[in-house]
Each structure stands twice: as C-alpha cells, then as structure tokens.
Structure 1
Amino acid sequence: MNTTPATDTGGAVGTAAVDTVIIGAGQSGLALGYYLAQQHRNFVILDAGSRVGEAWRSRWDSLRLFTPAKYDGLPGRPFPGDRLAFPTKDEQADYLEDYASRFHLPVRPNTTVTRVSHDGQRFHVTAGARRWTAANVVLATGACHLPKTPGFAAELPSGVVQLHSHSYKNPAQLKPGPVLVVGVGNSGAEIALETSRTHETWLAGKPSAEIPFRHGRTAARFFIPVVRFAGLHVLNTNTPVGRKVLPKMAAMATPLIRTKLADLRAAGVHLVPRVAGVQDGEVILDDGQSLPVANVIWCTGFTEAYPWLDIPALPANWREQQHRGIVAALPGLYLLGKDLIFAAASETLPGVCRDAKYLAKRLAATRAPQDEAEILSGLAA
C-alpha cells in the first residue's frame, strides 16, 4: 500500500491514483486530512479557492464566529489566543491556512472539481486537466453551495442594488436610500443591525426563536459548554432523544444567537412580515404593505448541490440514506461537515472534528488485511 501523500502535478495533464480524495479544504476537509495523515494514507484535498480559508475570507467583513476560541481549533492544534474570545472570520481563515501548512496537508488550491464518476470499482475525479482515481471520495464542501433568491427578485428595477449575503461585505456596497434585508436568521439579523448604522433598514421575515441567554464571554464560560455537550453527546442518532428530536430540528430555523430582536428594535430596524413579491417596482409584503427600497440584501440561504456528481446509480435521496456520513447507496462515498449528519452539533467545529475522527477510523477499516492489527488498535483508541 502506498502511504505517501499525493504529489502536486502543477496542473499537468495526467491521472494520479490515491486512496482518498477529499473535496473541500475547509475545517471538515482539513480535520479529516489530519487524521488520514496520522494513518500515513495516500490522499489529496481539492479546493476551488485560491487559498485555504477562502470561504471564510469571502464572507462579510464584520462576521465573527458564534463559538469561543476554545472550541474553534482542529485536532492537534488549539486555536491561539484568548480562549473566551469569538474569532473574526479572517482570524479563522488564517488559522485554517496555518493549520494546513503546519501539518503539511496535501491541499490543491485553485482546483475546481468538474466531474466525479464511478466505474463500479473506483471513483474518477476530474478538475480541468487534472484527474485522480480513488477508492474513496469525501464530500466536505460545507453548507454554502448555491445562493438562493426568489424568482421575483428579477422583477425589481435595475436601479435597486441587490446582494445575497454570500456577496455582501459592508454597507459601502449600498447606495443611498432604504435597505431591505430579507430573512430573519442569524445572517439577516447581524447584517440588518450593521446596515441600520448607515441606512434606514427593514428586516422582513418570520422571526426565529432566540437562545435564552445573552451571547458573550459569560455565555462562553458557563452556557455554551452545556449547549456543546448536549449538541454532541445527547442530541445524536445514537440516543433515543436524539432520534426523536433531530428530524424536528431539520425542519426548524436556527435560533438567533448573538443579535436578538430587542437589539434590532433598539437600533431602529423596522421588523416587517415576509416578502410576498414585487409589484410596480416595489416590494410587496404579506400584509399588503409596499416598500420603495433602494437596496435589497437576500439572506435567504443556500441550496446544497453537487452538479458535478455524475453517478447515475445514486438514488435521488442518497443524501438522506447515510449514517454518520457513510452513504449507504455507494460504498466509498462519504459526507462530512453537514448539518445534523450525526448530531445537532455536526456542522460546528467540535462536531466536525468528532465526525472526521470517526470517518478516518472507518476508512482505516477498509485497508488491506495485513493492516488488521493496526486497524483494531486504532478503533480501540
């Protein structure tokens, strides 16, 4: 068995044979990469970004993590600095970049996967002129795939500035005049609070629930550890309560964490009903009210999509037919870093690290028979 990490071909045409291809060099892909490197596996991590951490760097400027630094590290490397602080998105991006370099993980940036197929025995991964064959493919591409906007967005006048939260950076992108933020989730609430300092702001949508404590250092010390424990060890598919609650959570909106409705009202944000459509160039709300806006920021989420996954044998609901990231319909295909994949905290950094360790042990169990003693030792650890 070849245990040497895959070498970079520098963009040259050719096919490299590896044990595992990880698609996505975010926290999920890097955490799994760490464990595979510990096993001396032959693997490669492909990412479309120009640098590790690009997905974090591309978010809006003022974004901070909801979890304190003590929970934001990956295996083998705690997050540096104040353990009760909430890192900025750029600090998180820099940490991930340093992590990949520190552990010499075989990340291939600027590598956009265009096709993944399966010939009945091995996967074939194509990214431009580069190709890999692999026994395993791990989809670690995160949750922010294709930005969602309603069809009637195209009916707004061309003079209205429209941004999705994915491309919003700061209020300097906006023109003078009122701002409508659509979607009362955490992104919508935080962006609306920010734009209210420079523009009259409306926030449209059905209000989400709120966590029952004030987010901050006190919460990081006392409350968030309790939430973390419950999200990892109580609400998962191995417990009766988890099996009962997780399907309900899948249909629920994430509660507001840092920015509450009271904060928005105090800042002068106008909370209004859902957007129903566009008429005569103006936004129409569910209650019939019309809003003449100059800017619209769509905080309406993302669609999970794998348009490059060209495996006709996969059933339409293959993503639901998984256990702890192991796709039942096709041996060798795995998911990592997805919401509720095993536990309520599966999409958080602590959840990602645990799920990555589990998948690494699962992948170790697929090794050649002569490695049986090593496999059993690893599974017992």
Structure 2
Amino acid sequence: MKDFIIIGAAQAGLSMAYHLKKNQKDFLIIDKEDEIGASWLNRWNSLKLFTPTEFNHLEGMPFPTPKGHYPDKYEVANYFKTYVEKFDFPVQLNTLAERIEKEDYHFVIKTNKGDLNCKEVIVATGPFHIPYTPKFHNNISEDIFQIHSNYYKNPKQLKDGATLVVGGGDSGFQILDEISEQTNKKTYFSGNTDIKTLPQELLGKTLWWWFTVTGFLSFSKDSWVGKKISKSKQPIIGTDVKSIIKRDNVIPVGYTINAENNTIKTTIKELDDVKNIVWATGYKPNFEWIENIELTKNGYPKHHRGISSTKGLYFIGLPWLHTRGSATLGGVKKDTKYLADKILQS
C-alpha cells in the first residue's frame, strides 16, 4: 500500500510529487494518457503560453528557455518529461482512475488496470474534463463538420468553405485568428466582441511581471478583491482581438442560439453556408467518480486550499483553488507548497 497516489501527471501532479519525493514518501503518479505532457500535446498545434519563461518554473527546476520567451505546447510537454526524469518520479501511464472509494483508513482507486490502494489521495486532474457543446449541436446536419476546441489541431482538419467559430475566450480568439488568417475563407465569429484585452508586454515589462508586483495573482478567492476578480469577465491576453475582428473575411454574428440541419441561428442572422463549426465553448468539471465527494453548485469539490471534507483526500490544480494564479504553470507551486506542508504535518 502506497502512502500517496497522485492522479494526474501534469503541472499540479508533478509539483506535488516534488514535495513527496523530497520528504521520502512512498507514492505513485497515475495518468490516463500514454505519455507525460499529453494533456498539452493534445491541444491545437499553435498553442502558446500567455506567461513567459520566468513565470513557468516548477519547484527545483527552471523552465529551460530564455527569459521573455513564450513557450509552445511542445516545450511545455518536454519540460514535464525532463522534470519526471530529473527527479525519477514513479509514474504509471495508460491508467484511468474510474472511481475512488474510502475503506476504513485507506482508499481504493479503481482503474482500468485494476485496484490501487493508498493511505491518501491527491487528485490533480485539472479543470478541463468534459468538452461542452450546446445540446442543439445534435440538430445540425452531418454535412457540417463539427469539432470542439479540445480536439482541434489546425485548419487542415476543416472542410473547404465557411467556418463558424463559437466562443469568445482565449481559445476561441486564438483559433479564430488562425483559421481566418490561414484559410482566407469566410469565418464567422459567434461571441462577445466587446471584450477587454491585455497586451503581453506593457511599458517594457511583461504583463505577468506587472501582475506579480501588483499582487494581482496573489489575492485570495475569499478576499474582497479576489471575489471581484473571480466574478468579473476575464480579459483576453496577448491576442489583438480588434484587428482580428476587422479582417475582411471575419464576420461577427452575435451569439449562436439554435440550429436545424444546415441552418445556424444566431442573434444577428441565420447562416446557411457554414461548412465547419469549431466549438470553443469550454468544459464541464467531472468529479462524480469520487465517492461521497461534496461538490459546489459549479460542480467543483468543496475544499479549503485543496483539503477536502474527506480525511486524506486532497485536490490541487483547480481554478481559483486559492488565487487567480492557482491553475497556471508557474502559480501552482505556491498551492502545492502550502498543501504539502499541511499534509506532511498531519
């Protein structure tokens, strides 16, 4: 029986593993993917971090690119692989955790590879679980190619003709930028165009430098400022939204509200020439596979800085686990340090 099992081998799980290894704990990391870094490699090909190198370091090993560089997904995945090798973490891949049950004073993790037993469990599966698309997407003709941003790689996946990109977050605008620029085809945008944007650099300093010195990333979710930030619409970082929207082949159509066969209904017009739809519409959390877990109205586990109401069960890497920076590559180490200290002192 292991002291700990960490579920998830991305930044949150690896950051926690560092502290367990340092304190000579007997632990195992399991992950459903077939390689370290797969959660990043599975995203679209041109994905880059919003944070420069100097804000992406995990504990004990600097991110190996020059200061001011914005790493792509391949560099992040390679960093994780090197991190695992450097600290010789025990990792079991291709292992999907299907259920967590508590029996007396230990946990049983039921997986596709059989049961695993441990004294304590750290769930580090991140915030992106079930790709969300509105129900009416089922009403759309099979002639229209549909893909969620989770599975989108590049414009070569698309059929010839007009594309509708649905979703006004960072992913939506990055994908809109790429498709409209590379295909030069008519590209409809469905989402809010009146949105705040922030440059990656301001007055000679990176945006994240300003976030750090102003304490923007350090406000607790329970503080007055933290509550205001968490409830406000998050700005788009590093993407020139206005210039994208002004392109001749980009047509804003408001929000997508319904569809039937080859007709897509939006708040501005009905579209009947769409050949592709990219749904950059986010994700829904899924923690229902954990026995007797208490969930919030948004579907996330109830916890205090990662400590759940079930003794021995912990969470790391959730959005706003404690601060705005909790789910970022560079920000997760503060949460893991706090949680590790609490776990190892108990």
Which TM-score applies when normalising by structure 1? 0.84
Alignment partner of 1:284 is 2:265? yes
Alignment partner of 1:215 is 2:197? no
Q: For residues 339 and 315 of structure 1, do their structure 2 counterparts lie closer, same or farther at Cα, with a shift above 3 Å needed?
A: closer
| In structure 2, distance between residues paired with 1:222 and 1:281 | 45
Aligned length: 340
* SS, match of residue 87 in structure 1: coil
Alignment partner of 1:355 is 2:335? yes
Residue 286 of structure 1 deviates from its aligned partner by: 1.7
| In structure 2, distance between residues paired with 1:308 and 1:276 | 32
> Please, which of 274, 285, 291 is the counterpart of residue 304 of structure 1?
285
Alignment partner of 1:315 is 2:299? no
Identity, % of aligned pairs? 31
| In structure 2, distance between residues paired with 1:266 and 1:243 | 39
The answer on whether the counterparts of 1:181 and 1:298 sit within 8 Å (CA) in structure 2 is yes
| In structure 2, distance between residues paired with 1:129 and 1:196 | 44
Q: For residues 220 and 98 of structure 1, do their structure 2 counterparts lie closer, same or farther at Cα, with a shift above 3 Å needed?
A: farther
* SS, match of residue 65 in structure 2: coil
2:276 corresponds to:
295
The answer on whether the counterparts of 1:325 and 1:341 sit within 8 Å (CA) in structure 2 is yes
2:251 corresponds to:
270
The answer on whether the counterparts of 2:12 and 2:317 sit within 8 Å (CA) in structure 1 is yes
Residue 321 of structure 1 deviates from its aligned partner by: 2.9
2:21 corresponds to:
37
* SS, match of residue 232 in structure 1: coil
> Please, which of 79, 97, 118 is the counterpart of residue 102 of structure 2?
118
| In structure 2, distance between residues paired with 1:44 and 1:22 | 6
1:168 corresponds to:
152
Q: Which amino acid is the alignment partner of residue 305 of structure 1?
A: N
Alignment partner of 1:232 is 2:213? no
Q: Which amino acid is the alignment partner of residue 126 of structure 2?
A: G
* SS, match of residue 21 in structure 1: strand
Q: Deviations over 1:331-357 (max 9, x none)?
A: 111111111110111111222011111
In the TM superposition, 1:14-53 aligns within 5 A as 17-53=1-37
Q: Deviations over 1:222-245 (max 9, x none)?
A: 432121342333x114xxxx5223
Q: Which amino acid is the alignment partner of residue 53 of structure 1?
A: G
Residue 135 of structure 1 deviates from its aligned partner by: 2.0
| In structure 1, distance between residues paired with 2:203 and 2:304 | 32
1:326 corresponds to:
307
The answer on whether the counterparts of 1:18 and 1:135 sit within 8 Å (CA) in structure 2 is yes
Residue 107 of structure 1 deviates from its aligned partner by: 1.3
Q: Rg bigger for which structure?
A: 1
> Please, which of 185, 206, 209 is the counterpart of residue 192 of structure 2?
206
- After alignment, is 267-276 or 168-177 more displaced? 267-276
> Please, which of 134, 139, 148 is the counterpart of residue 155 of structure 1?
139
Alignment partner of 1:90 is 2:70? no
More strand per residue: 2
The answer on whether the counterparts of 2:53 and 2:68 sit within 8 Å (CA) in structure 1 is yes
Residue 291 of structure 1 deviates from its aligned partner by: 4.3
Residue 210 of structure 1 deviates from its aligned partner by: 2.3
1:377 corresponds to:
none
| In structure 1, distance between residues paired with 2:136 and 2:11 | 35
Residue 308 of structure 1 deviates from its aligned partner by: 2.5
The answer on whether the counterparts of 2:12 and 2:336 sit within 8 Å (CA) in structure 1 is yes
Q: Which amino acid is the alignment partner of residue 216 of structure 2?
A: G
Q: Unaligned regions of 5+ residues in structure 1, if any?
A: 1-16, 367-381
| In structure 2, distance between residues paired with 1:208 and 1:340 | 25
Q: Which runs of 4+ in 1 moved over 6 A?
A: none
Which TM-score applies when normalising by structure 2? 0.93
What's the RMSD between the two structures over aligned residues? 1.9
| In structure 1, distance between residues paired with 2:312 and 2:81 | 28
The answer on whether the counterparts of 1:180 and 1:293 sit within 8 Å (CA) in structure 2 is yes
1:343 corresponds to:
323
